[in-house]
Chain A
């Protein structure tokens, strides 16, 4: 069962119509889905009207593993906007999924950012904000 952490997010989640299915499915079912091209068979993210690899419009949402490797990570410590101050520090990472696409997320349950290894295997941990009614991607090292 995928882990869900209850959190308060600093801002509302702004979602495009093209990627709404991703966040809605995450929020309602805690399921990790990806846009998948039926024409060339490749995955991509975020959702878009065409496949970014071959340009086909024959795209679908398909359940994915929710596993990948850390590509890069940073730790925000400075309030570039006043409303984010109480949430700091926030670690942000990018993750190369086992299915191929690179996705975004918060890095959770780590100790020191300087010691987080690149390419470390991670899995999805949904970060759910009940007040804002949305859920975003968190990543935890395996």
Chain B
């Protein structure tokens, strides 16, 4: 089969949000259920229509939950019996691939993808495994003092300073541009908190060369989307947001083994697949929602997609270009950095909302100096830049 046969055959038809930030007294489980039902209602479907359910990765449970929020726990509370059920134990990004596969092979009609967490209230520090699993360290590298995703990404970014001449000066542009978008998004955790480059530079390094403002933070909340065929989507209430192209790829290596500019990086391969399937190139793309667990992840991903030469990122990655009113808007809800941590559903959800014209004050085409893009690229990234799923979306009729 030619992958171009699938061009625009599938669409995203609903997005489910929940309150996010610090939301006291709520279990992760409750956010799973709220996000799921909100997506179902948003699409104009009934819960019994959902015959495929994909959960993002399982995390160690935190206070507020009594058991792992596995697929079975969620489906029990939803009262549904999906034919296809899936949840990773780790951060691989193959959800779109799985959803489309399950529909394409005739198993499912409507596949819902969901992520939820109570990481803010439950104090997930991304090192909880040290405490929760046993008194033993999480892995071999803990003895060396490497206990956080933060440090692993910092090693990737540190080498890129040498290879590509990047650094805090450029990363601050990304952080500030996204904060300006968050300041237009009432759902964003950082909605009422402006940020300047001076503010960024005045904060300390947590793990040199990264500051806290280079990273996302754990969130309470959840998010969900629903995928079906574009044909079925046309019968539903929202405009179908068509998947014109998608790709997924997986690198090897731990974070400290990553190589900036690797010609076979997951983002590069997944991006190339998506562009090929879509029949498009970078100049066709009007805006991007890029998985931004760290500021440098945005630089690495856009560079791997081919939006700029890696050593010339300074001309592209500016507040003026990426922020409200810029020529290449990115992470228009604030992204993982400033909106909230909904894994890949933060960028994917925002892309769908933008392409369906439902973004209020931050809507592309409404914000002065912007226009509604014909095509939007979206990245979902997992592990330490090891796993990537890329989407190119187009608004359907």
Contacts and interface: CB of A to CB of B under 8 A. Distances in A.
A81 B130 CA distance: 8
B142 A113 contact: no
Contacts of B146: 76, 92, 104
A71 B131 CA distance: 31
A16 B158 CA distance: 28
Given A71-B159, A72-B158, A80-B125, A113 B208 contact: yes
A63 interface: no
Interface of B: 125-127, 130-131, 136-148, 150-151, 154-156, 158-159, 162, 204-210, 256-257
B208 A77 contact: yes
Contact of A10 (B145, B150, B155, B209): B145
Given A12-B136, A74-B151, A80-B147, A94 B256 contact: yes
B159 A92 contact: no
B264 to A, nearest CB: 15
Given A11-B137, A74-B155, A75-B205, A105 B144 contact: yes
Interface in A45-90: 46, 71-78, 80-81, 83-84, 87, 90
A118 B207 contact: no
A77 B206 CA distance: 5
A136 interface: yes
Nearest to A15: B140
18 contacts: A11-B142, A12-B137, A13-B140, A14-B143, A73-B158, A74-B207, A77-B205, A77-B206, A77-B207, A80-B147, A81-B130, A84-B145, A87-B145, A90-B144, A92-B146, A94-B155, A104-B141, A118-B162
A26 to B, nearest CB: 12
B151 A134 contact: no
A136 B159 CA distance: 23
A119 B209 CA distance: 17
Nearest to A135: B143
Interface of A: 9-16, 19, 46, 71-78, 80-81, 83-84, 87, 90, 92, 94, 102, 104-106, 113-114, 118-119, 132, 134, 136-137
Q: Which of B127, B131, B210 has the most CB of A within 10 A?
A: B127
Contacts of B138: 14
B145 A92 contact: yes
B127 A81 contact: yes
Contact of B209 (A46, A74, A78, A132): A74
Q: Which of B130, B144, B148, B155 has the most CB of A within 10 A?
A: B144
B212 to A, nearest CB: 8
B147 A81 contact: yes
A132 to B, nearest CB: 8
A105 B257 CA distance: 12
B56 to A, nearest CB: 22
Q: Which of B125, B145, B209 has the most CB of A within 10 A?
A: B145
A50 to B, nearest CB: 14
B137 A114 contact: no
Shortest beta-carbon contacts, A-B, top 6: A90-B145, A78-B206, A11-B137, A72-B159, A118-B162, A13-B143
A119 B163 CA distance: 11
A81 B205 contact: no
Given A80-B126, A81-B125, A136-B143, A114 B206 contact: no
A83 B155 contact: no
Contact of A75 (B147, B162, B207, B257): B207
A14 B158 contact: no
A45 B355 CA distance: 46
A136 B137 CA distance: 15
Given A87-B145, A92-B144, 7 more contacts: A11-B142, A14-B139, A77-B204, A92-B256, A94-B256, A94-B257, A104-B141
Contacts of B256: 72, 92, 94, 104
Q: Which of A80, A134, A137 has the most CB of B within 10 A?
A: A80
A73 B155 contact: yes
Given A90-B145, A94-B257, A14 B140 contact: yes
A104 B159 CA distance: 14
